[in-house]
């Protein structure tokens, strides 16, 4: 297929967008654009196009992906979205994602495990699951992470699951036994836990257990 440079359009102070056959193809940093000396009307061979995409555009995307992951851990969906926002071609985004995954810089299960580990004491599984869904995490990864965390905490948690443990910790941060709560305090606590996404039957189970043990 023949590719012809049909437009060269400035994007900002450091980048220009190259149009091939009247379609936006990729962008280049001005320094690289000047070195290539591209001009409107120029024929671009398959060899030159491949060279530009692999040696320049893909390099930009890989560097951007690494920079984004250095700043904070992200899911595959989040990183893909960020790279698309940077206006990289879709096939370049796919290759950049594969690159960082090959070095395990990007790992959705690891992200899920760390995310739940840092928040399960304050939020329900339902709340955390909803947030993780939005980040592109599958239900199987969420369930597997909960099981792994429960196994790692099994000795300190006795026979409780993570949901019950989270509720228990929230109650104990109140600073007094549950049987010393007034009726109003108890109602406010239940309402607060329910708003956090905990199921009512789990809340009641923990409250009954605490009353009995107290």
Contact 56, 32 (CB under 8 A): yes
User: Angle CA(62)–CA(66)–CA(67) in degrees, nearest 5?
Assistant: 115
22 and 112 within one domain:
no
pLDDT over 60 (residue 67)? yes
d(CA 16, CA 5): 13
Tally the domains of the chain: 3
Task: Inform me whether the pLDDT recorded for 162 exceeds 90.
Answer: no
DSSP 8-state symbol, 179: G
Domain boundary among 84, 105, 126: 105
Looking at the structure, do residues 17 and 97 belong to the same domain, yes or no? no
Do 57 and 91 sit in the same domain of this protein? yes
26 and 57 belong to one structural domain: no
Which of these three, 61, 85, 105, is where a domain ends?
105
Q: Indicate if 97 and 186 belong to the same structural domain.
A: no
Taking the CA atoms of 14, 39, 27 and 50 in sequence, report the sign of the dihedral they define: negative
> Which tens digit of pLDDT belongs to each residue from 6-60?
999 999 999 999 999 999 999 999 999 999 999 999 999 999 999 999 999 999 9
Q: How far apart are CA 201 and CA 188, in angstroms?
A: 16
Beta bridge partners of 9: 17
pLDDT of 159 strictly over 70 = no
pLDDT grade, residue 76 (50/70/90)? very high
Same domain, 54 and 39: no
Q: Are residues 85 and 40 in the same domain?
A: no
- Sheet containing strand 15-20, strands side by side: 23-29, 15-20, 3-10, 43-44
By residue range, what is the domain housing residue 135?
Answer: 108-213
* pLDDT of 157 higher than 50: no
For residues 118 and 204, membership in a common domain is answered with: yes
Are 85 and 161 within one domain? no
- Rounded CA gap, 114 and 151, in Å? 15
Encode pLDDT of 82-117 as tens digits.
999 999 999 999 999 999 999 999 999 999 999 998
What are the structure tokens assigned to 89, written together?
């071609």
pLDDT in tens, 128-152: 999 999 999 999 999 999 888 877 7
Stronger pLDDT, 126 or 194, i.e. the higher one: 126
From the CB of residue 196, how many other CB atoms can be counted at a distance below 10 Å?
16
Band the pLDDT of 154: cuts 50, 70, 90.
Answer: low
pTM for the full predicted model:
0.77
Q: What is the DSSP string of 143-176?
A: HHHHHHHHHHTHHHHTT--HHHHHHHHHHHTTSS
The pLDDT of residue 107 is 96
115 shares its domain with 207: yes
Instruction: Report pLDDT for 130.
Output: 94
119: number of CA atoms within 13 Å, CB side?
A: 17
């Amino acid at each position: 297929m023949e590719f012809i440079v049909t437009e060269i359009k400035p994007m900002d102070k450091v980048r220009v967008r190259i149009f091939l056959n009247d379609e936006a193809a990729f962008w280049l940093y001005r320094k690289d654009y000047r070195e290539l000396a591209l001009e409107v009307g120029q024929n671009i061979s398959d060899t030159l196009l491949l060279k530009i995409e692999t040696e320049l555009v893909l390099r930009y995307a890989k560097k951007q992906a690494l920079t984004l992951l250095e700043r904070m851990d992200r899911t595959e969906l989040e990183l893909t979205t960020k790279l698309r926002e940077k206006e990289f071609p879709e096939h370049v985004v796919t290759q950049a994602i594969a690159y960082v995954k090959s070095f395990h810089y990007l790992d959705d299960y690891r992200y899920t495990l760390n995310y739940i580990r840092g928040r399960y004491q304050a939020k329900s599984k339902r709340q955390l699951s909803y947030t993780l869904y939005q980040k592109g995490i599958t239900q199987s990864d969420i369930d597997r992470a909960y099981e792994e965390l429960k196994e790692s905490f099994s000795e300190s948690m006795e026979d409780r699951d993570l949901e019950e443990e989270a509720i228990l910790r929230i109650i104990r941060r109140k600073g007094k036994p549950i049987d010393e709560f007034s009726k109003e305090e108890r109602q406010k606590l239940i309402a607060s836990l329910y708003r956090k996404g905990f199921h009512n039957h789990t809340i009641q189970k923990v409250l009954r257990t605490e009353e009995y043990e107290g």
